[in-house]
Amino acid sequence: MLKKLQLKKHAMTGISYMLPLVVTAGLLIAIGNLSGGSVIKNYKEAYSIADALVSLGVFGMGLIVPVIAGAISYSIADRPGIAPGLMMGLIANAIGAGFLGGMLGGYIVGYFVQYLKNNLKVPVWAQGLMPMMILPLISTMIVGLLMFYVIGTPIVWLTATLTEVLKGLQGGSRFIFGLGMGAMAAFDFGGPVNKVASLFADGLLVEGIYGPEAVKILASMVPPFGVALSWIIARKKYSKEEAENIKIAFPMGVAMITEGVIPIAARDPIRVIAACSIGAAIGGGFSMLWNVGSPVPSGGMFIVPAMENPIGFLAALSIGTVITAAILVLTKKPAADDSFFDEEDESVDLSELNITDQIR
Amino acid sequence: MKIVGIAACTSGIAHTYIAKEKLMKAAKELGHEIHIETQGTIGTEDELTDLDIKNADIVIVAADINVGGKERFAGKKILNIPTNIAIKSPKSIIKKIQADLGL
């Protein structure tokens, strides 16, 4: 049953459509930040080219969830799946369900369109309306409302609970607070859990408390740095394809954009998420312990000189990076496909491959 | 034996083309005719012609993602494999097809 659903193939199709967007948007933000730009808040006032580049990158980041949802749904249900999938992604963005919410929405709406396509019988005169109107409208309406009212509820509840827990943690020791903050901020690479930690840090920044903000910055940089370091130590653990992704993720990490790690995490989620969260947690703990603080909410390496105790920040960042890399090196299995052009075939079990005359 | 096929991987920049090269090389060494279309991130290249498909004995779809234009293969014999299988053991795959189809 699960094999028949081809979950992985659809996720891979989604990722393949999303990759150029992640890279373009991430690099636009990095280039814009480097040249001193920030997001344009009021388009009626004058803005610089750097501001325009950052804003364009932010638009692109906003498209990531709709595109992965749309592409997953397209992969499942072909063209009638595109419009409903894109809209499920927009809902995931709006209700704060993030990347995982978007993927879930894409799967549900894709299978639903496919189900309707196979089971909904309409009179001949209405068949032309099926792909154009009936399938997208019915599926978008039903799954869309489901996203708003059912799928959104546990995520909003989760957000509220986590915020409470975070507030409670603040009374405890600084190290433990940093630990929790770091783990949350790194956990889903810019997704909803990260956004809760991020919002919390931004809120405290207004109160003049700079510590959590530094942990947030650290936790966004540990995943790309840790993954890159583990690749340098043990190249055999990553395929050539992953290596290409890492080469892009690292410079994005310098600018505090953690999303470059998503393609690596999507292939091996448990190990990569665990390694990144643990590394960022311990780095965050030390950052709090050493009274590191950042008055600037984002900017990565470029705003380190502006921090309180920048040396402490770099030390905590290094500790987190090394821990993430060490866990990855120790736990990741070697990538299988690094020998490309050797003459002889590797022995692979082909007995399960069957020639078919069914198109699928 | 006449073979047509499609190669497509997730990133669409590396494995797609390696899978194509491996299949082409293996088929030629074994004395078969082959034409592989690539569906990379850049788009479709070396598109299969209707004549290629019409004359083909087998369609190899070496893909990790959903490929486009599958309706062209209606009524053909199709083998679906992931790109890494095509890269690891292209010759074995072609020999297996030959054995299965009895050609």
- Domains of chain B by range and CATH? 2-101 (3.40.50.2300)
Q: Looking at the domain assignment, is residue A325 inside a domain?
A: yes
Asked if B4 has any chain A CB less than 8 Å from its own CB, the reply is no
Tell me the mean pLDDT in the region A136-146.
95
Q: Looking at the domain assignment, is residue A145 inside a domain?
A: yes
- Percent with pLDDT over 90 in chain A: 36
Instruction: Identify whether residues A305 and A175 lie together within a single domain.
Output: yes
End-to-end, the C-alpha distance of chain A in Å comes to 15
Single out the residue of B23, B30, B25, B33 nearest to residue B85, CA to CA.
B23
Instruction: Work out whether strand B33-40 and strand B43-45 pair parallel, antiparallel, or are unpaired.
Output: antiparallel
Tell me the mean pLDDT in the region A85-111.
88
- Among A153, A181, A199, the domain-final residue is A153
The pLDDT tens digits for B63-97 are 989 998 989 999 999 999 998 889 888 999 999 99
Task: Say if CB A323 and CB A283 are below 8 A apart.
Answer: yes
Instruction: Identify whether residues A148 and A188 lie together within a single domain.
Output: no
Q: Which residues of B touch A347 (CB under 8 A)?
A: 89, 92
A356: which strand partners? B78
CB contact under 8 A, B101 and A355: yes
How many domains are there within chain A?
A: 2
Instruction: Identify whether residues A181 and A257 lie together within a single domain.
Output: yes
Per the structure, the complete domain to which residue A196 belongs is given by 170-339
Alpha helices for chain B (secondary structure H): 15-29, 50-55, 83-88, 90-101
- Give the helix/strand (H/E) hosting B38: strand B33-40
The pLDDT tens digits for A183-224 are 988 887 766 677 777 767 776 765 567 888 899 999 999 999
Q: What is the DSSP string of A238-288?
A: S-HHHHHHHHHHHHHHHTT--GGGHHHHHHSHHHHHHHHHHHHHHHHHHHH
CB contact under 8 A, A337 and B88: yes
CB contact under 8 A, B88 and A355: no
The pLDDT tens digits for A50-69 are 999 989 988 988 898 899 99
Task: Say if CB A25 and CB A60 are below 8 A apart.
Answer: yes
Instruction: Identify whether residues A179 and A149 lie together within a single domain.
Output: no
Instruction: Identify whether residues A131 and A8 lie together within a single domain.
Output: yes
Average pLDDT over chain A reads 84
pLDDT band at A171 (very low <50, low <70, confident <90, very high): very low
Higher per-residue confidence, A100 vs A360: A100
Q: Which residues of B touch A360 (CB under 8 A)?
A: 70, 80
- Among A126, A153, A180, the domain-final residue is A153
Q: Looking at the domain assignment, is residue A164 inside a domain?
A: no
CB contact under 8 A, A345 and B89: yes
End-to-end, the C-alpha distance of chain B in Å comes to 7
Instruction: Identify whether residues A180 and A313 lie together within a single domain.
Output: yes
pLDDT band at A358 (very low <50, low <70, confident <90, very high): confident
Instruction: Identify whether residues A204 and A125 lie together within a single domain.
Output: no
Q: Which residues of A touch B18 (CB under 8 A)?
A: 340-341
Task: Say if CB B58 and CB B101 are below 8 A apart.
Answer: yes
Q: Looking at the domain assignment, is residue A148 inside a domain?
A: yes
Q: Which residues of B touch A354 (CB under 8 A)?
A: 79
Reported ipTM exceeds the 0.85 cut: no
Nearest-CA distance B87 → chain A (Å):
7
Instruction: Identify whether residues A2 and A116 lie together within a single domain.
Output: yes
Task: Say if CB A312 and CB A290 are below 8 A apart.
Answer: yes
pLDDT exceeds cutoff 60 at A339: no
Instruction: Identify whether residues A262 and A326 lie together within a single domain.
Output: yes
Query: Per residue in A188-216, is it b (16+ CB within 10 Å) or e — as a string?
Result: bbbbbbbbbbbebbeeebeeeebbbbbbb
- Number of DSSP helices (H) and strands (E) in chain B, helices first: 4, 5
Instruction: Identify whether residues A44 and A175 lie together within a single domain.
Output: no
Residue of chain A whose alpha carbon sits nearest to that of B70: A359
Task: Say if CB B85 and CB B96 are below 8 A apart.
Answer: no
Instruction: Identify whether residues A287 and A189 lie together within a single domain.
Output: yes
Instruction: Identify whether residues A176 and A144 lie together within a single domain.
Output: no
Q: Looking at the domain assignment, is residue A349 inside a domain?
A: no
Q: Looking at the domain assignment, is residue A346 inside a domain?
A: no
Q: Looking at the domain assignment, is residue A181 inside a domain?
A: yes
